[in-house]
Amino acid sequence: MKSRNNILMPRAQKNLTILGENIRLARLRRRYSMEQVSERADISRPTLHSIERGNSNVTIGAYVKVLAVLGLEKDIAEVAKDDILGRKLQDYGLTVKKRAPKLNKASAIRLGDGGT
C-alpha cells in the first residue's frame, strides 16, 4: 500500500515534531522500551517510531493511545482549551443592540408624548 504524503505548513510540522520528541522523552523518562509502549498501545513499533518523529501520516488516535500508556492522556484535553484569538473574534462579531426599552402607554403620557 502506497503511503500518502501529507504536506503541512512548516509551523504545523514543527509543532508535530516537538510533540513527537516530547512523547519520546516521556517514554525514556519512564524507562519504557519502544516494544513495551507499542504493545500496550496496541500499535506497531514502526508506528510508534513515526509518532516519535512527528510523522503527520499517523492517526491522532495512535497519538492518544501512546499518551494514555504514558499516563498523559489528560494533556490532550488541554489542546485548544484557551482559544484567545477565537474569543476575540467572537467578541468582535457580537452585535450590541442600542435601542431604548419600550415604554408602556402610561409612561408615554407622563413624558408628554400623548400616547401617539
Query: For 55-87, what is each residue's pLDDT tens digit?
Result: 999 999 999 999 999 999 998 888 878 888 888
Given a contact cutoff of 8 angstroms between Cβ atoms, the answer to whether 45 and 34 are in contact is: yes
CA dist 75 to 19, 78, 82, 88, 97, Å? 11, 5, 13, 24, 40
pTM of the model: 0.69
Buried b or exposed e, range 60-85, using 16+ CB within 10 angstroms:
eebbebbbebbeeeeeeeeeeeeeee
The residue extents of the domains of the chain are 10-92
**What class is the 10-92 domain?**
mainly alpha
